[in-house]
A and B are shown apart, each in its own frame.
Chain A
Amino acid sequence: MGRLSLPNGLTVYVLQRENSQLISARLLFPRGSASCPPGQSGLAELTAQLLRRGTESTSAEAIDALLEDAGSDLGVWVNDDTTRFSLTCEPRSAAKLLALLGDLLSHPAFPKREVAKLRERTCDQLKGALDDADWVANRATYQAAFPGHPYGVPSEGWSRELEALGRKEVRTFAEGYIARGACLVLAGRVQDLEALVRPFLGLRAGAARPARLAAPAALQGRQVVIVDKPDATQTQVRLVASGFRKDSPDLIAALLGNAVLGEGFSSRLVNEVRVNRGLTYGISSRFGSLAAGGLFVVRSSTRTEKVAELVEVVLEQMQRLRTDGPEEQELSRVRTYLGGSFRLGSETADQVGAQVAEAFRHGLGEDWLVRYPRLLEETPREAVLAALEAHLPSDRFRVVAVGPAKELEQQLARFGAVQIVPLTEIV
């Protein structure tokens, strides 16, 4: 892997694969929805999506044609901490498309009409998304995990705040797409590197990295949040607690412990909840890490009359794992499983590129891709036990349920004080 720094501070990683027929580019800025000013939720997503709707010299239609004539498209992802742009194309089109991406970032026009149209469409989409209980549950989970913190504000925004956003706010937010702290990962058959990175020399260097977001407060006590969806035949269930940043020393130990609990098809949760009891189609758990904090989430769904039973089984399994720890055989299995998943996820240059970008985002170091599999093997059982003790919740969590409140309220009261949220208040 090659690495260079442009004069403006942009870090460029190059993963050369001569036999690849494609090249992918990922551009990552450490500026996501948590960077939206108070009262302007959804601005990060709106800005990123609007970039391709016209520059000072190129119309939105011409941008579409440039991308699609090359068989490509521009991927845009916004999460709490980052905004990522990506595209994949044949090597012969790469210089042209990266020049376009550079132009989008350096000279966006943000036509008023396009801002208004996308804002309106986003509000309409939010309303439509209320039909998707899984989406509603994920949104409510972040609100429950990070109350009063920017991480709790949904990246798609609140409808009432979106409606007030205009071109001025969008332009201001886009000024934060600066070279310092950002990275570009090129993976595949990379030809004429100089031509590929030239368009990004125009990015403003910007100030030093912005101050790190304050850490979210750890959740205390138990509570239940029910988002009322009276027509649902099934309830989406989440159990959520506070987690840790990805640079935590507990990271690998916690990932191993969590894999025993809820990753893959032979985890304890799948065994107990799906295989032995037939309560769900799917169940998993994970530690999610962000720049300033993290969360632990168990995700599942079941028929409404069985929600309390499902939560009980989950809590019991978590308690057992925290108390007794994983068996040696289980630990050995998840070490190989996570290592194998990592290898399977590194098959193509594009996949390795994604991992490089992820390591950069979390400041894990350039040798992370080499260290990670080794750490999976070397982390001792005692460290796993300690990490589970520290991070697997016992009495500080939220149960989030999206289903008919009338049938859920009494069932779930045993897990904490119940708050019922009308569905429409989620957006």
Chain B
Amino acid sequence: MSRLPSLRGAAALKPIEHQLPNGLRIRLLPDRGAKVLAYQTFFRVGSRNEQIGRTGIAHLFEHMMFNGATRYGPKEFDRQLEAHGGSSNAYTSYDLTVYHEEVPSEALDLAIDLESDRMAGLRLSAEALQSEREVVKEERRLRVEDSVFGRLDEELGALVYQAHPYHWPVIGWMGDLERVTLEDCQEFFRRYYAPDNATLYLAGDFDPEQTLDKLTRAYGDLAPGLAPPREASDEPEQRGQRRTHLRIPAQTPALLLGFRGLPARDPRSPALDLLSTLLTTGDGSILVRKLIHERGLCTEVSSDHSWRLEPGVFLVAAELPPGTSPKRVERAILDELETLATQLVSPPALARCKAQLRVGLLRELQTASGRAHALGNAEHLLGTIGEAQLQLERLAAVTRQGLRAAAEAVFKIERSTLVWVDP
């Protein structure tokens, strides 16, 4: 792997790679700058691994991971970490569950002890499950039930995917959250939270040799887990636009337009990242300039091409002024997307969105946490860890023709889904 000159110094993403006999993968990216480090554990499990009737278990289980293990009992995980100046959190996506700690470098031993303890033997109790179930239901009320875009997003996902587990939301359906049992959690832990289904990413201030030795001692005796069950079925090809007018309380109109996209590891994926930037990053971007500043059709507009293992969704979200017709805005967005699919963007426009992504990436890589996460995302979603180092090269290599080809492949009306509210 060639070292990219523009990712030099602290931002160079070339970790030491190691695998223990039990399958645990370890990636170490030392940097003796600031006296802090990031410790991240990626488990290859997300909502795509769930079954109908038990949706939301991956995320609910993520909450259960903070309720005590063998050496550290209930409430001890965060208490210990905070008592050593650190903090922790976690997230679950469609494809992954990620636990992350940011700690002063002298707390490395504690982080290893806490994380290996819960991978070795989580303490699962009915009381903790019941409490976390209620917490997750509150989270769902907050993010979905009482949120216009939460509702739109959930509806859109259910329309875009008919067979694939991306059909249901990561947080799960409210009814399914009630059905998750302690036995389900125990089975979930055995199957997915084993060393051979996990990768550790450490970045920041530590000695790599000593750290590898400590990690080997802490995790080396853990047994590999059950082989993960067969994964998701393919999604049949979409052959026509899907639309839903959502009847929910809202003050102003809003819409969410999605296109069946590409997997993150598709060679055209960097072009989609650039298209998203070109469309909605900054006041000079195409949709912000035309729909907000020139035509006054939107108050906010954004787009997103989130990386997923399997084909995801390219999203455009718009908030409209009262009285504005969502149909009119839909047409205006589609016109711009069609232009991108049929005409070449100007060289300065392409250079501009490349510069925006480049600075954004450099910002992300300033912190140990950003570097650890970039490595994890690259290895899991882009296919190889080397892709982290190559991101800027991949973006720089996208041509105007490549941008148009990606737009042409994705921005097709028959691959689109629209959900909207119009009070």
- Interface set, chain A 265-292, CB cutoff 8 A to B: 265-266, 271, 274-281
Contact B296 A347, beta carbon cutoff 8 Å: no
Contact B352 A278, beta carbon cutoff 8 Å: no
Contact B348 A350, beta carbon cutoff 8 Å: no
In the assembled complex, B409 has its CB within 8 A of some CB on chain A:
no
Q: Which residues of B contact A117 (CB under 8 A)?
A: 293, 296
Q: How many residues of B contact A (CB 8 A)?
A: 73
Contact A278 B132, beta carbon cutoff 8 Å: yes
B299 contacts which of A124, A303, A347 (Cβ < 8 Å)? A124
- 0/1 per residue, B86-122, Cβ < 8 Å to A? 1110000000000000111001000000000000000
Q: Which residues of A contact B352 (CB under 8 A)?
A: 65, 68-69, 71
A347 contacts which of B132, B137, B368 (Cβ < 8 Å)? B368
Q: Which residues of A contact B282 (CB under 8 A)?
A: 64, 67-68, 73
B303 to chain A, nearest CB (A): 15
B105 to chain A, nearest CB (A): 9
- Interface set, chain A 137-194, CB cutoff 8 A to B: none
Distance between Cα atoms of A40 and B204 in the complex (Å): 49
B362 contacts which of A90, A132, A280, A341 (Cβ < 8 Å)? A90
Chain A interface category by residue count: 35 or more
In the assembled complex, B33 has its CB within 8 A of some CB on chain A:
yes
- 0/1 per residue, B353-369, Cβ < 8 Å to A? 01111111011001110
Contact A68 B87, beta carbon cutoff 8 Å: no
Q: Which residues of A contact B357 (CB under 8 A)?
A: 71
Q: Which residues of A contact B132 (CB under 8 A)?
A: 278
Q: Which residues of B contact A206 (CB under 8 A)?
A: none
B355 contacts which of A70, A120, A347 (Cβ < 8 Å)? A70
In the assembled complex, B16 has its CB within 8 A of some CB on chain A:
no
Q: Which residues of A contact B145 (CB under 8 A)?
A: 233-234
Contact B252 A336, beta carbon cutoff 8 Å: no
Contact B138 A279, beta carbon cutoff 8 Å: yes
Q: Which residues of B contact A19 (CB under 8 A)?
A: 9-10, 33
In the assembled complex, B289 has its CB within 8 A of some CB on chain A:
yes
A142 to chain B, nearest CB (A): 21
In the assembled complex, B185 has its CB within 8 A of some CB on chain A:
no
Known: A64-B282, A71-B356. A332 touches B83 (CB 8 A): yes
Distance between Cα atoms of A276 and B289 in the complex (Å): 49
Known: A68-B356, A333-B79. A277 touches B131 (CB 8 A): yes
Contact A278 B133, beta carbon cutoff 8 Å: yes
Distance between Cα atoms of A301 and B90 in the complex (Å): 20
Q: Which residues of B contact A302 (CB under 8 A)?
A: 138
In the assembled complex, B135 has its CB within 8 A of some CB on chain A:
yes
Contact A265 B146, beta carbon cutoff 8 Å: no
Q: Which residues of A contact B356 (CB under 8 A)?
A: 68, 71-73
In the assembled complex, A379 has its CB within 8 A of some CB on chain B:
no
Known: A61-B284, A68-B282, A125-B299. A350 touches B87 (CB 8 A): no
Q: Which residues of A contact B325 (CB under 8 A)?
A: none
Q: Which residues of B contact A88 (CB under 8 A)?
A: 359, 363
- Interface set, chain A 35-76, CB cutoff 8 A to B: 52, 60-61, 64-65, 67-73
Q: 8 additional contacts, CB 8 Å, given A61-B284, A70-B359, A277-B131? A: A64-B289, A88-B363, A232-B146, A266-B75, A276-B131, A278-B132, A281-B139, A303-B137
